Structure 1
Amino acid sequence: MEQKNMLVLVNEQDEPRGTMEKMEAHRKAELHRAFSVFIYNAAGDMLLQQRALNKYHSGGLWTNACCSHPYPEEAPAAAGKRRLREEMGFVTDIQPAFEFVYKASFDNGLTEYEYDHVFVGEYDGPIHPDPAEVNDYCFLSPAEIEAALASHPARFTAWFHLAFPKVQQWRKQSEVCIG
């Protein structure tokens, strides 16, 4: 089986416990390693993407710049940069922010049960999304995102609802520490 179709199964401490084919892991709700990348521009606005309509779950919903699963033997940060290039058509430096575990079930019988490595970066250049992955994209201020999450929660992915406030808190704490 191709490496890109295999997920790294982990325990609650992110220790590997084997691999499993991607769709099987989602059908069986197996905890697996994942990553999410959040990108801001210099003005502090966040890059959002609307997932392609044909995605295996959450098609057409808005979410962070990119997210996926590292290949077996691939570090989450390297996977984040790879997927940012594949989905959004650009590369930028990303830094680890935090990790969290979440579980979300979908109407199609699949479940995301992920140990999510969250990365944050900054980018102001051109964006060339892959139309097979991304239906649309935009930059919104954190306040605009908070308002949209409150007024239209069904327009956003399950993990974005969980990760966005954590990213905002991480950014506030980072600013206090830096200066």
Structure 2
Amino acid sequence: MSLPPVILVNEKDEPVGTMEKLEAHQKGLLHRAFSVFVINDSGKMLLQQRAADKYHSGGLWTNTCCSHQLPGEDTPTAAHRRLAEEMGFDCPLEEIFSFSYRAEFDNGLTENEFDHVLLGTYNGPVQPDAAEVQAHKFLSLNEIREELIAHPGNYTHWFHIAFPKIAAFIEARGND
């Protein structure tokens, strides 16, 4: 089974080609991705625990949803598509910031992503796809901060980078 292609980009997020997802991670090539963070009206953030058999970072806790844009697909469309597929709901999303990061994993794969971060608010039921998500929970921003200090190895690499920025944005806006 071949995985869908990812969009290869340069450091300015300009497309330079496409490549099958696993190959891009094996070669560690910079590609476009997105991370969705969802909070509820109480300011608690919805986290997911990645399914144990994911190709990397299996069993780790992270933001609500993350994935890759398909060739020809803009970031908002991709984010709404994957939020519905992974978590079983959709909600309005706003792109807040982007960042690049590189992380090498023990299995030989490398995440080298230009990551677009989106934020949404949602208060309804969550029905995650068990093939993607092992568990989910809502935590306050302070509970997440405490968790990151007490158990940093339980969270994905990109979550450690994106969470402080998104939390600062949420708090500045007055949702915590």
TM (norm. structure 2) is: 0.96
RMSD between aligned residues = 1.5
- Counterpart residue type for residue 55 of structure 2: Y
Q: 2:146 & 2:168 partners in 1: Cα distance?
A: 17
Q: 2:104 & 2:43 partners in 1: Cα distance?
A: 32
1:102 Cα shift?
A: 0.6
- Counterpart residue type for residue 101 of structure 1: S
- Counterpart residue type for residue 78 of structure 1: T
1:168 Cα shift?
A: 1.1
Per the alignment, residue 149 of structure 2 pairs with 150
Per the alignment, residue 8 of structure 1 pairs with 7
- Counterpart residue type for residue 59 of structure 1: G
CA offsets, 1:6-48, max 9 Å, x none? Answer: 0000001100000011011001100000000000000000000
Per the alignment, residue 38 of structure 2 pairs with 39
Taking only the aligned residue pairs, the percentage that are identical comes to 57
1:150 Cα shift?
A: 0.2
Q: 1:85 & 1:148 partners in 2: Cα distance?
A: 27
1:77 Cα shift?
A: 1.1
Per the alignment, residue 66 of structure 1 pairs with 65
Per the alignment, residue 119 of structure 1 pairs with 118
- Counterpart residue type for residue 131 of structure 1: A
TM (norm. structure 1) is: 0.94
What secondary structure does 2:145 align onto?
helix
Per the alignment, residue 159 of structure 2 pairs with 160
Aligned length: 175
Q: 1:11 & 1:77 partners in 2: Cα distance?
A: 20
Correspondence 1:15-30 to 2 at 5 A = 15-30=14-29
Q: 1:165 & 1:77 partners in 2: Cα distance?
A: 22
Q: 1:149 & 1:174 partners in 2: Cα distance?
A: 22
1:169 Cα shift?
A: 1.9
Q: 2:139 & 2:167 partners in 1: Cα distance?
A: 13
Per the alignment, residue 132 of structure 1 pairs with 131
User: Unaligned 5+ residue runs, structure 1?
Assistant: none
Per the alignment, residue 74 of structure 2 pairs with 75
CA offsets, 1:102-161, max 9 Å, x none? Answer: 111100000100000000000000110000000000000000000000000000000000
